[in-house]
């Protein structure tokens, strides 16, 4: 019964989506307020029905109803409750339902928070949003129904893939989807603006908070996924340039570029046509990511060909939305008026530089990810494009960006003074040079590039601090005055500095981890010791322990530093009976921002275990940097001017008497 309710709710949601996709748009065309007014209640109702459908699937998972094929294939009655719930989106059908749920959630949010939008723009935005929703709801119903029943209900389920039975699955996909799908709002705004043929600075002001929110979720989602891979996969890597990762990185880079170009558009009414294009591209890359991950095309072009229904369907959605929006763009964009001139050396110029490099970096990841697929499809030749390619191309594109980053906020709008900005950054140069020299001295004979990277990281971090201190005239005015100015500083300015600082933190972590890590791979018997970077680890014993739906073999290690015990590490191997597969659970010991990482390999018959031991210096800064970036985004989002959107009417009134 629950499954049927869920299925039916999704069908109703599709019908509502189709209504929302047509009538408000027609209403906007003919300026019919009644038709335009339909959009808001229907968007809310659509969300309610998708939520009901999602709740039904969750209910089926929680009650372990194995008469539903999807639950049978991906769940197990002995699984802990949290993994039963997160298992809802740990499979193709459920994750598509989550995708649609978040899509309709954003639609409902626009309906609720977009009351200050011009009615026709709001109707068009909600209409476009609903085209996407309808397409994906149809996709689920036609090819990936999560509610299909089995003729005979089995007694027990097949369980979820053990690697996914982790708290990471509960958090990572929802965050990532909030980011991916959140960019649909920017897309809908862009397409609505093209339909209306009108776009101005106010448009950028409405779009920016949505883009910023989506960007924050995507940043968190990527960082979370990276940390999950780091501790779960057992060899301590945190980024693999895997196509699935690239699929989430591309919208992130494009979204970052969009955030920056939208600033130019809002403040200076320039770069309009480009901003619209970026909004379209960002969501197109999100769609592409969904296609890459969901169609199976990544494993091989051939798996895609053997079961083509889903792949072809998403490909059709992809072509319709990307092709359609780009065609609309090509047709309407020339009508949009350009405004706001600026000199090459200016805040706008710096943001254009940012956009040039980010777009190129994004295109590089795009080509690197899709080139092998295209080459195999066209010529049959198989090549691999792996981490060495991306490191060699992406790095050189990102470094100039990081070096230029502190200059941007110090340049004035319209026409900046590069010399003055350089003078202000002298302190940052100094700190960067000292950091480089110190790293060189400590790690004499180590990698040559690493001290340079660390210098750039310090330059970026110091640069954003200087930006803030310049704004409050620190040390130039009395401290109390500076403090007062700091309180009055717009939060978006603080947010910029914080986010830029976070990127520096992130680079510092990457540079240290990649170049100064230490690794030991060896076989140990109980009582033996091994040391890494001044830490001594002793293998105490091996013990078995039963878990809820697995058996666990735990090795206990005592960690000593200079003779004193500083912690115990208990890496383990888990064997899941239902799928007769196993996972390794690494053990981590955090010291400051660095970590000791220990994971288990094979256990020999004589009781000795293969061990992988790493010292990862400053590794936590990689993810902490991302968190700082998100915090910067949150500060910017809390800026009153962004929340309120357009300038308020009251302000205008107070200006009236002067006329």
Partner 1 sequence: MRALRFLAAIFVLLQATPSFAVQPDEILPDATLEQRARNLSRELRCMVCQNQSIDDSDAPLARDLRLLVRERLKAGDSDKQVLDFLTARYGDFVLLNPPLNRRTALLWGLPTALLVFGGFILLMAVRRRPAPSSMTDSLAQAAPLTPEEEARIADLLEKDPRTKI
Residues lying near partner 1 in the complex (CB under 8 A) are found at 234-235, 237, 240-243, 298-299, 339-344, 352, 356-357, 359-361, 363-364, 367-368, 371, 375, 379, 381-389, 392-393, 397, 414-415, 477, 481, 488, 521-523, 542-544, 551, 553, 573, 575, 580-582, 584, 600-603, 605, 610-612, 658-659
Beta bridge partners of 456: none
Q: Which of 291, 618, 314 is closest to 458 using CA atoms? A: 618
Which residue's CB is nearer to partner 1, number 34 or number 381?
A: 381
Q: What does the CA dihedral 59, 61, 67, 70 come to, rounded to 10 degrees?
A: 120
Q: Which of 336, 41, 320 is closest to 196 using CA atoms? A: 336
Beta bridge partners of 530: 537
Minimum separation from the CB atom of position 334 to partner 1 (A) = 15
Which residue's CB is nearer to partner 1, number 81 or number 521?
A: 521
Between helix 119-143 and helix 308-318 the angle, nearest 10°, is: 170
Containing H/E element for 545?
A: strand 535-546
- DSSP state at residue 65: -
Minimum separation from the CB atom of position 422 to partner 1 (A) = 19
CA 435 to chain centre: 30
Minimum separation from the CB atom of position 25 to partner 1 (A) = 32
For residue 9, the SS3 value is: helix
Minimum separation from the CB atom of position 387 to partner 1 (A) = 6
Which residue's CB is nearer to partner 1, number 561 or number 582?
A: 582
Which residue's CB is nearer to partner 1, number 208 or number 573?
A: 573
Minimum separation from the CB atom of position 472 to partner 1 (A) = 12
As a whole number of angstroms, the distance between CA 180 and CA 248 comes to 8
Residue 337 burial class via C-beta count within 10 angstroms: exposed 0-12, middle 13-18, buried 19 and up? exposed
Minimum separation from the CB atom of position 398 to partner 1 (A) = 11
Minimum separation from the CB atom of position 180 to partner 1 (A) = 20
In 425-560, where does DSSP find H-type helix? Answer: 426-442, 449-471, 479-488, 491-516
Minimum separation from the CB atom of position 601 to partner 1 (A) = 3
Which residue's CB is nearer to partner 1, number 205 or number 574?
A: 574
Which residue's CB is nearer to partner 1, number 19 or number 404?
A: 404
Minimum separation from the CB atom of position 613 to partner 1 (A) = 11
As a whole number of angstroms, the distance between CA 567 and CA 227 comes to 22
How do 535-546 and 581-585 pair as beta strands? Answer: unpaired
Q: What does the CA dihedral 234, 235, 241, 243 come to, rounded to 10 degrees?
A: -30
Tokens in use for 312? 């072809």
How do 581-585 and 587-591 pair as beta strands? Answer: unpaired
Beta bridge partners of 519: 614
- DSSP state at residue 323: I
Which residue's CB is nearer to partner 1, number 336 or number 542?
A: 542
Which residue's CB is nearer to partner 1, number 43 or number 611?
A: 611
Which residue's CB is nearer to partner 1, number 54 or number 241?
A: 241
Containing H/E element for 540?
A: strand 535-546
Which residue's CB is nearer to partner 1, number 119 or number 340?
A: 340
In 154-300, where does DSSP find H-type helix? Answer: 167-196, 201-232, 243-268, 272-295
Contact between 286 and 183 (Cβ < 8 Å): yes
Minimum separation from the CB atom of position 484 to partner 1 (A) = 11
Minimum separation from the CB atom of position 231 to partner 1 (A) = 15
Strand ranges (E), 300-456: none
User: What is the b/e burial string over 284-313, where b = at least 16 CB atoms within 10 angstroms of the residue's CB?
Assistant: bbbbbbbbbbbbbbbeebeebeeeeebbeb
Which residue's CB is nearer to partner 1, number 97 or number 397?
A: 397
Minimum separation from the CB atom of position 363 to partner 1 (A) = 5
Between helix 272-295 and helix 324-332 the angle, nearest 10°, is: 170
Which residue's CB is nearer to partner 1, number 129 or number 354?
A: 354
Which residue's CB is nearer to partner 1, number 343 or number 434?
A: 343
Minimum separation from the CB atom of position 264 to partner 1 (A) = 14
Contact between 516 and 646 (Cβ < 8 Å): no
As a whole number of angstroms, the distance between CA 257 and CA 275 comes to 9
């Amino acid at each position: 019964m629950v499954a049927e309710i869920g299925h039916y709710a999704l069908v109703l949601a599709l019908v509502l989506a189709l209504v929302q996709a047509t009538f408000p748009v027609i209403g906007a065309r003919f300026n019919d307020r009644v038709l335009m007014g339909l959009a808001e209640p229907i968007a809310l109702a659509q969300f309610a029905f998708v939520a009901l459908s999602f709740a039904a699937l969750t209910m089926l998972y929680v009650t372990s109803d194995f008469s539903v094929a999807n639950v049978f294939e991906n769940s197990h009655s002995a699984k802990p409750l949290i993994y039963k719930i997160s298992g809802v989106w740990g499979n193709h059908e459920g994750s598509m339902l989550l995708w649609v749920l978040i899509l309709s959630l954003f639609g409902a949010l626009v309906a609720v928070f977009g009351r200050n939008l011009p009615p026709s723009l709001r109707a068009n935005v909600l209409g476009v949003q609903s085209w996407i929703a309808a397409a994906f709801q149809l996709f689920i119903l036609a090819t990936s129904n999560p509610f299909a029943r089995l003729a005979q209900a089995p007694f027990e389920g097949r369980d979820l893939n053990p690697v996914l039975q982790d708290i990471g699955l509960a958090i990572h996909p929802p965050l990532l989807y909030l980011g991916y799908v959140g960019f649909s709002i920017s897309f809908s705004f862009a397409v609505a603006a093209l339909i209306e043929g009108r776009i101005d600075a106010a448009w950028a002001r409405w779009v920016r908070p949505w883009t910023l929110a989506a960007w924050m979720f995507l940043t968190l989602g990527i960082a979370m996924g990276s940390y999950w891979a780091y501790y779960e996969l057992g060899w301590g890597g945190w980024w693999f340039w895997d196509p699935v990762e690239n699929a989430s990185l591309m919208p992130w880079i494009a979204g970052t570029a969009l955030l920056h170009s939208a600033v130019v558009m809002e403040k200076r009414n320039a770069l309009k046509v480009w901003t619209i294009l970026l909004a379209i591209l960002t969501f197109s890359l999100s769609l592409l990511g969904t296609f890459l991950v969901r169609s199976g095309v990544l494993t091989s072009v051939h798996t895609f060909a053997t079961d083509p229904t889903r792949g072809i369907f998403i490909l059709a959605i992809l072509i319709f939305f990307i092709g359609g929006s780009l065609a609309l763009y090509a047709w309407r964009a020339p009508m949009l008026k350009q405004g706001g001139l600026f000199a090459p050396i200016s805040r706008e110029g710096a943001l254009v530089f940012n956009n040039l490099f980010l777009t190129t970096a994004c295109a590089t990841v795009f080509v690197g990810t899709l080139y092998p697929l295209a080459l195999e499809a066209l010529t049959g030749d198989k090549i691999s494009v792996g981490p060495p390619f991306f490191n060699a191309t992406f790095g050189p594109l990102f470094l100039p960006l990081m070096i230029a980053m502190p200059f941007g906020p110090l340049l004035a709008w319209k026409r900046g003074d590069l010399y003055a900005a350089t003078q202000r950054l002298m302190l940052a140069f100094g700190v960067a040079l000292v950091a480089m020299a110190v790293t060189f001295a400590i790690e004499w004979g180590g990698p040559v590039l690493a001290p340079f990277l660390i210098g750039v990281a310090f330059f970026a971090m110091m640069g954003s601090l200087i930006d803030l201190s310049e704004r409050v005239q620190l040390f130039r005015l009395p401290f109390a005055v500076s403090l007062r100015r700091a309180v009055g500083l717009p939060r978006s300015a603080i947010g910029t500095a914080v986010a830029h600082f976070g990127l520096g933190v992130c680079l510092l972590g990457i540079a240290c981890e990649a170049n100064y890590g230490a690794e030991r791979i060896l076989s140990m018997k109980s009582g033996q010791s091994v040391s890494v970077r001044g830490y001594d680890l002793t293998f105490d014993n091996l013990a078995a322990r039963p878990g809820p739906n697995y058996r666990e073999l735990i090795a206990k290690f005592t960690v000593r530093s200079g003779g004193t015990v500083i912690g115990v590490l208990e890496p383990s191997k888990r064997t899941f009976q239902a799928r007769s597969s196993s996972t390794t659970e690494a053990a981590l010991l955090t010291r400051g921002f660095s970590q000791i990482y220990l994971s288990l390999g094979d256990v020999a018959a004589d009781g000795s275990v293969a061990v992988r031991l790493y010292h990862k210096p400053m590794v936590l800064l990689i993810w902490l940097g991302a968190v700082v970036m998100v915090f910067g985004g949150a500060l910017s989002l809390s800026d009153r001017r962004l929340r309120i959107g357009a300038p308020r009417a009251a302000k205008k009134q107070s200006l009236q008497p002067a006329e």
